[in-house]
């Protein structure tokens, strides 16, 4: 019995750990499907987190009333606004100015992490706290509200109903993105833009519009991953650099999921599990970094397998990483 309980606990923690990755990878897949390799996603997730925290901080500390709906909506909207702005920076540089995507993305990540830490530090100063933390306990409580019957259903309830709403939101968004890509006209045209922008252009598809929308919506989805991490997973506690390398993990999952958001649900939970596996198997401390490396090892294995099978459908979007300029022939 104890073993089963432990397994369920691992699975629950894997889901919670995997949810930021799911937001991040879904957003990145959507972006990459338009041919934009946004390596700024880790930074955008940071910005999504800190923007939500700023919104929540002012709502919690500067209003006397407390309304659960507002406690959810305000951080959510400010997070979306923050990641939208960050994505627009990326979009403007790579789509309009046609700057190098890799350089822009990496710069945006560095910028986003710095920005997050700067505002995080400032907020901590405002509270005159002695500890390097910022706690948004009320907001977090709203985010962590579960369905009332969750804890009455035993292990089943624990496994499926013990999460805040954003865990389900991540799955729903991944499924919607998956559906849109596969079964709608918008999805067809978006994929065409990512595969062959010149063809899409000739067919009358507005390539830049699709790239902007995919990049911005993708960035906003990814930013929610940062928000979830702080307000739900970390119970509302902001500490600088706590988000760690999860953004890069999300990008690795894109490859693992071979650009399919529905596969990325499983991939995210698997990677989430691998990320915390060391807590459940007894290894010595000096083997810890090896354990934490596991998700990346899995990614490399997937890359090797996909490359060996050479199936066209499993390859990245053909124009990924290149900017489109009509007059260039």
Partner 1 sequence: MSETVSEKYALQLRNVTKAFGTKVIANKNVDLDVRYGEVLAILGENGSGKTTLMNMIAGIYHPDAGEIYVNGEKASINSPKDAFNYKIGMVHQHFKLVDLFTATENIILGINDGNKYDLAKAEEEVKNISGKYGFVINPKKKIYEMSVSEKQTVEIIKVLYRGADILILDEPTAVLTPQETDKLFDVIRNMRNDGKSILIITHKLHEVLAISDRVTVLRKGEHIATVDTAKTSEIELTEMMVGKRVSLNIGRSEPKDTCDRLIVSGMNMTNPDGVKVLKDISFTAKAGEILGIAGIAGSGQRELLEAIAGLRPLDSGNITYIDPSNSENVELRSKSPMQIRELGVRLSFVPEDRLGMGLVGNMDIIDNMMLRTYKKGLSVFVDRQPPRQLAEEIIESLEVVTPSAQTPVRRLSGGNVQKVLVGREIASAPSVLMVAYPVRGLDINSSYTIYNLLNAQKENGVAVIYVGEDLDVLLELCDRIIVLCAGAVSGILDGRTAKKEEVGLLMTKVKGVSENE
Q: Given the rule CB under 8 A, which residues bind partner 1?
A: 183-185, 188-189, 191-192, 195-196, 198-200, 202-205, 312-313, 318
Q: Tell me if 6 sits within 8 A of 289, measured CB to CB.
A: no
Q: Which of 245, 185, 182 is nearest to 42 (CA)?
A: 245
Nearest distance from C-beta of residue 205 to partner 1, angstroms:
5
Nearer to partner 1, 152 or 329 (CB): 329
Q: Which of 51, 17, 31, 52 is nearest to 219 (CA)?
A: 31
Q: What is the dihedral of CA 201, 206, 211, 213, to 10 degrees?
A: -160
Nearer to partner 1, 9 or 195 (CB): 195
Nearer to partner 1, 146 or 196 (CB): 196
Q: Tell me if 249 sits within 8 A of 21, measured CB to CB.
A: yes
Nearer to partner 1, 118 or 179 (CB): 179
Nearer to partner 1, 152 or 185 (CB): 185
Nearest distance from C-beta of residue 172 to partner 1, angstroms:
21
The DSSP code sequence of 65-99 is ---HHHHHHHHHHHHHHHHHHHHHHHHIIIIIS--
CA distance 326 to 329: 8
Nearest distance from C-beta of residue 126 to partner 1, angstroms:
50
The single-letter DSSP state of residue 279 is G
CA distances from 287 to 244, 276, 291, 293, 295 (A): 19, 13, 7, 10, 15
Nearer to partner 1, 39 or 254 (CB): 254
> Measured in whole angstroms, how far is the alpha carbon of residue 279 from the centre of its chain?
23
Nearest distance from C-beta of residue 255 to partner 1, angstroms:
17
Nearest distance from C-beta of residue 312 to partner 1, angstroms:
5
Nearest distance from C-beta of residue 16 to partner 1, angstroms:
35
Nearest distance from C-beta of residue 102 to partner 1, angstroms:
17
> Measured in whole angstroms, how far is the alpha carbon of residue 153 from the centre of its chain?
30
SS3 322: coil
CA distance 26 to 277: 23
Nearer to partner 1, 130 or 313 (CB): 313
Q: Tell me if 18 sits within 8 A of 273, measured CB to CB.
A: yes
């Amino acid at each position: 019995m104890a073993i089963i309980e432990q397994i369920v606990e691992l699975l629950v923690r894997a889901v919670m750990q995997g949810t930021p990755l799911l937001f991040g990878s879904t957003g990145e897949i959507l972006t990459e499907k338009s041919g934009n390799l946004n390596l700024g996603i880790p930074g955008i997730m940071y910005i999504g987190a800190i923007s939500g925290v700023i919104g929540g901080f002012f709502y919690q500390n500067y209003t006397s009333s407390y309304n659960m709906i507002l406690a959810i909506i305000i951080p959510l909207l400010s997070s979306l606004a923050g990641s939208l702005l960050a994505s627009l920076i990326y979009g403007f540089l790579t789509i309009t100015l046609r700057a190098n995507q890799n350089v822009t993305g990496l710069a945006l990540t560095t910028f986003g992490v710095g920005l997050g830490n700067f505002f995080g530090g400032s907020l901590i100063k405002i509270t005159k706290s002695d500890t390097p933390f910022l706690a948004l306990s009320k907001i977090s409580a709203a985010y962590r509200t579960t369905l009332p019957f969750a804890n009455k259903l035993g292990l089943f309830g624990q496994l499926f109903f013990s999460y805040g709403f954003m865990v389900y939101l991540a799955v729903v968004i991944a499924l919607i993105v998956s559906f849109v890509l596969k079964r709608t006209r918008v999805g067809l045209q978006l994929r065409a833009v990512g595969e062959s922008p010149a063809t899409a252009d000739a067919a009358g598809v507005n390539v830049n519009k699709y790239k902007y929308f995919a990049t911005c919506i993708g960035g906003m989805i990814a930013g929610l991953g940062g928000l979830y991490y702080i307000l739900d997973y970390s119970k509302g506690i902001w500490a600088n650099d706590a988000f760690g390398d999860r953004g890069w993990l999300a990008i690795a999952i894109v490859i693992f999921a071979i650009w399919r958001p529905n596969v990325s649900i499983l991939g995210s939970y698997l990677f989430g599990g691998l990320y915390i596996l060391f807590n459940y198997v007894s290894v010595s401390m000096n083997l810890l970094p090896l354990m934490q490396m596991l998700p990346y090892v899995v990614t490399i294995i997937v890359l090797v397998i996909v490359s060996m099978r050479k199936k066209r459908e499993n390859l990245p979007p053909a124009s990924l990483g290149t900017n489109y300029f009509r007059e260039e022939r």
